Amino acid sequence: MIPYGRQSISDADIEAVVAVLKSDYLTQGQAVPAFEQGLADYCQVPHVVACSNGTTALHLACAVLDIGAQDTVWVSAVSFVASANCVRYYNANVDFVDVDPATGNLDVVALDKKLQQAMRTHSLPKALITVHLAGQPCDLEEIGALCRQYGIILIEDACHALGAHYQGSPIGSCRHSDMTVFSFHPVKPITTAEGGAITTRDPELAAKLRLYRSHGITRDPQALFIPSPGEWYYEQQLLGFNYRLTDIQAALGLSQLSRLDQFITQRCELARRYDALLSLLPVQPLQQSNNRQSGYHLYVIQVAERDQVFARLRAAGIGVNVHYIPIPAQPYYRGLGHDPAAYLGAQAYYQGAISLPLFPALTLSEQQQVVDALEQALCG
C-alpha cells in the first residue's frame, strides 16, 4: 500500500535523538529552547512555545483567551475535529464558517456576511480559528482585516502549513493574526513523532502559553508573586497542564527543520508533476491562489462518484484518504444543534474530495502507479 503520507527520517535525525538519549536530560533540558528558537528564526516571529502535539497547541491557544460558556469561537467548517474541540474543552460555544469548495479554505465572503449579521444581533465571536487546508494559506490579509474591524482574535490553524508562505512571509510569522498553531505529526511537513507549537508576536500571550504548558508553574524571579526564598522555590499561578515536549522529540524536530525547505521543494515538485499527469483526466485539483506558496501537505483532487473511486483505489493498493468530513456533520456537533446542510461550500468540497499520496520520499514510479490506478478507477 502506498500511503497518503509518510515521515522522512535521516541518519542525522537518528544521531540527534541518540545524542539526547545519551545526555543528562531527556526532558526539560536545552533541546526544546533550541527547537523553539529554530522555529522562531524560520517563521520570522519573536515567540514560539513548543508542546506535546497539535491538539494541545490548539488547547493552549484557547486557554490563554480565557474563554468560557459565555463565549463563542468560529471555526472553518472543513478541518480535523481538533480545530473545534479545543473550544469545547472550555464549554464555550462553537459556530462554523463555510469554505470555498474550490480550495477548502475559509470563504471570506461568507465570513463577511456572517460578521455583519452577528454585529446586528450582538453575537460576535471572541475568536476565529481559520485553517490553511492541505498546506495552502487562506486569505489572511482579508480575514485579518475583518477580525481587526470587529475586534476578534484570530488564530491560524497551520497544522498543515509549516513551510508555506503568504505574500512572501512564512506562515507562522503572525503578520495578520494573534497566534499560529503547528503540528509535527509524522505525516506533517516535519515531525517530532508527536508534537506541536504556537507562535505569536505578543510577549504576554507567550508568557501565558508557557505557564499553561507546564501546570501553571513558574520559577521566573521576575514573575513571582512572593520574592523567592531559594532556588527550590516555584509558584503555581494558574491551573495549567502537562503539555511539554520532550528533549528527544525536540532534537528530532530541530534536525528535521534543517531540511524543511528541501521537503517543501520536493512536495511542490511532486504536486506540479501530479498537475501535469492528471491534466487529461476528469479530476480537479484544489485551486491554488495568488500571492502564496502552498506547503503541499496534501494533494487533494475533486472527482465524481468519490466513494466508488476511493474504494477502487484502496483495492489497488493506493492509500488515499479524505480530508475532511465537515465538522458540523459529525454526530457530536449535530447533537449541539449544527446543521451540515447550512454549509453548502463544505458539503460540495467534501462530496468529491480525495487526498492522493504525497510525501518527500514518494518516488516517480510510485507516483505513476497512483496516476495509473486513478485512471483505471475513474473508468470503473
Whole-Å CA distances, 177 to 28, 324, 339, 358: 29, 24, 29, 29
**Residue given cell 451540515 in the structure block:** 340
Strand partners, 128: 74, 154
Question: Which grid coordinates are listed for 82?
Answer: 481538533
The span from the CA of 251 to the CA of 16, in Å, is 6
Q: Catalytic site residue 188?
A: yes
Instruction: Determine the Cα angle at 244 with ends 42 and 9, to 5°.
Output: 55
Whole-Å CA distances, 179 to 49, 136, 173, 174, 316: 11, 17, 9, 6, 42
User: Annotated catalytic residue: which of 114, 126, 188, 208?
Assistant: 188
Residue 259: phi, psi to the nearest 5? -115, 10
352 touches 346 (CB < 8 A): no
The span from the CA of 307 to the CA of 296, in Å, is 23
- In 3-state terms, what secondary structure has residue 158? coil
Strand partners, 166: 169, 292
306 touches 353 (CB < 8 A): yes
Of 15, 3, 42, the C-alpha closest to 317 is: 3
Number of C-alpha atoms within 13 angstroms, CB side, residue 51? Answer: 30
Give alpha helix (H) positions in the chain: 11-21, 31-43, 54-63, 82-88, 108-120, 140-150, 203-213, 247-257, 260-277, 306-315, 331-335, 344-352, 364-379
CA 219 remoteness from chain centre: 31
Active site residues: 188
